[in-house]
A and B are shown apart, each in its own frame.
Chain A
Amino acid sequence: MKKIAALILVMLLALGCVAFAEGDEITLDVIICQYGPNTQDWFLGTGMDGTNFVDKFEAENPGIKLNLEVVSWNDVYTEVSTRIQNNNAPDILNIDVFANYAADGLLLPVKDYCPDELFEDFFPSFIAQSVIDDTVWAVPDLASARALYVNKDILDEVGVEIPTTWAELEDACQAIVDFYGGDVYPWGIDMTTDEGQAAFSYYVWNNDGGFVDADGNVALNSDKNVEAIEFAIGLVNKGFTNPNPATQTRYDLQDMFGAGKLAMVIAPNQLPSYLADKGYEVNWETAALPVNEGATPGATGVMDRVMAFKDDEYPDQAARNEAIGKFLTFFYAPENYVGWVSMEGFLPAVNSSVAALVEADPSFEAWLAVLDSCQFYPTALDNWDAIKQGVIDVEQQALTGGDVKTLLDDLQAKIAG
Chain B
Amino acid sequence: MNTIPIRHKWEPYLWLLPSLLLMSIFVVFPIGIVFKLSVSEISKSGVVRGFIGLKNFRDAFRDPAFGTVMLNTAVWVVSVVGLSTLLGFITAMALNAKFFGRKVARSIVVFPWATSLVIQASVWNYIIKGEYGNLNNILLNLGVIKSAVNWRATYQIEFAWECGVGIFVTIPFVAFTVLAGLQSIDDAYYEAATVDGAGFWKKLRHVTIPLVKPSLTVCTVLNIIYVFNSFPIIYTITKGAPANKTDTMVTLLYMRAFYDNQKGPATAMSVIGFAILCVCAGAYMMTTMRKEEA
Distance of A173 from chain B, by nearest CB (Å): 18
Complex-state Cα separation, A371 to B152, whole angstroms: 37
Distance of B11 from chain A, by nearest CB (Å): 10
* Given contact pairs A5-B18, A8-B21, A100 touches B43 in the complex (Cβ within 8 A): yes
Q: Which residues of A contact B47 (CB under 8 A)?
A: 84-85, 104, 106
Complex-state Cα separation, A399 to B245, whole angstroms: 12
Q: Which residues of B contact A82 (CB under 8 A)?
A: 46
Interface segment out of the listed A36-44, A109-117, A200-208, A239-247:
A239-247
Chain A binding surface SS class: helix
Complex-state Cα separation, A5 to B24, whole angstroms: 13
Q: Mark A244-260, 1 if CB is under 8 A from B, else 0.
A: 10111000100110010
Q: Which residues of A contact B254 (CB under 8 A)?
A: 78
For residue B15, CB closer than 8 A to chain A, the reply is yes
Q: Mark B82-108, 1 if CB is under 8 A from A, else 0.
A: 000000000000000000000000000
Complex-state Cα separation, A192 to B237, whole angstroms: 12
Complex-state Cα separation, A30 to B109, whole angstroms: 44
Distance of B119 from chain A, by nearest CB (Å): 15
Chain B binding surface SS class: loop
For residue B44, CB closer than 8 A to chain A, the reply is yes
Residues of B in contact (CB 8 Å), total: 40
Distance of A6 from chain B, by nearest CB (Å): 10
B44, A100: Cβ atoms under 8 Å?
yes
A81, B258: Cβ atoms under 8 Å?
yes
For residue A221, CB closer than 8 A to chain B, the reply is no
Partner of B259, one of A101, A243, A389: A389
Distance of A31 from chain B, by nearest CB (Å): 14
Complex-state Cα separation, A196 to B165, whole angstroms: 26
Q: Which residues of B contact A246 (CB under 8 A)?
A: 155, 238, 241-243
Q: Mark A262-305, 1 if CB is under 8 A from B, else 0.
A: 00000000000000000000000000000000000000000000
Most interface-central of B150, B152, B243 (chain A CB within 10 A): B243
* Given contact pairs A84-B45, A104-B47, A244 touches B150 in the complex (Cβ within 8 A): yes
Complex-state Cα separation, A247 to B240, whole angstroms: 9
A244, B45: Cβ atoms under 8 Å?
no
B243, A244: Cβ atoms under 8 Å?
no
Q: Which residues of B contact A397 (CB under 8 A)?
A: 242-243
Q: Which residues of A contact B257 (CB under 8 A)?
A: 78, 81
Distance of B185 from chain A, by nearest CB (Å): 36
B43, A103: Cβ atoms under 8 Å?
yes
- Please give me the residue from chain B that is nearest to A383 by CB atom: B44
B242, A81: Cβ atoms under 8 Å?
no
Complex-state Cα separation, A259 to B129, whole angstroms: 15
Distance of B3 from chain A, by nearest CB (Å): 18
For residue A77, CB closer than 8 A to chain B, the reply is yes
Distance of A261 from chain B, by nearest CB (Å): 7
Partner of A8, one of B18, B260, B263: B18
For residue B191, CB closer than 8 A to chain A, the reply is no
Q: Which residues of A contact B164 (CB under 8 A)?
A: none
A-B contacts, 27 of them at CB < 8 A, read A2-B17, A8-B18, A8-B21, A78-B257, A81-B46, A81-B263, A82-B46, A84-B45, A85-B47, A85-B48, A85-B263, A100-B45, A101-B45, A103-B43, A103-B45, A106-B47, A193-B241, A247-B152, A247-B238, A247-B242, A252-B131, A255-B131, A255-B132, A386-B260, A396-B241, A396-B243, A397-B243
16 more contacts with CB within 8 A, not counting A81-B257, A192-B241, A246-B155, are A1-B15, A5-B17, A78-B254, A85-B37, A100-B44, A100-B45, A103-B43, A192-B239, A193-B239, A193-B240, A243-B150, A244-B130, A252-B129, A252-B131, A386-B260, A402-B243
Instruction: Show the binding face of B for A, using Cβ within 8 Å.
Output: 14-15, 17-18, 21-22, 37, 42-48, 129-132, 150, 152-153, 155, 158, 237-245, 254-255, 257-261, 263
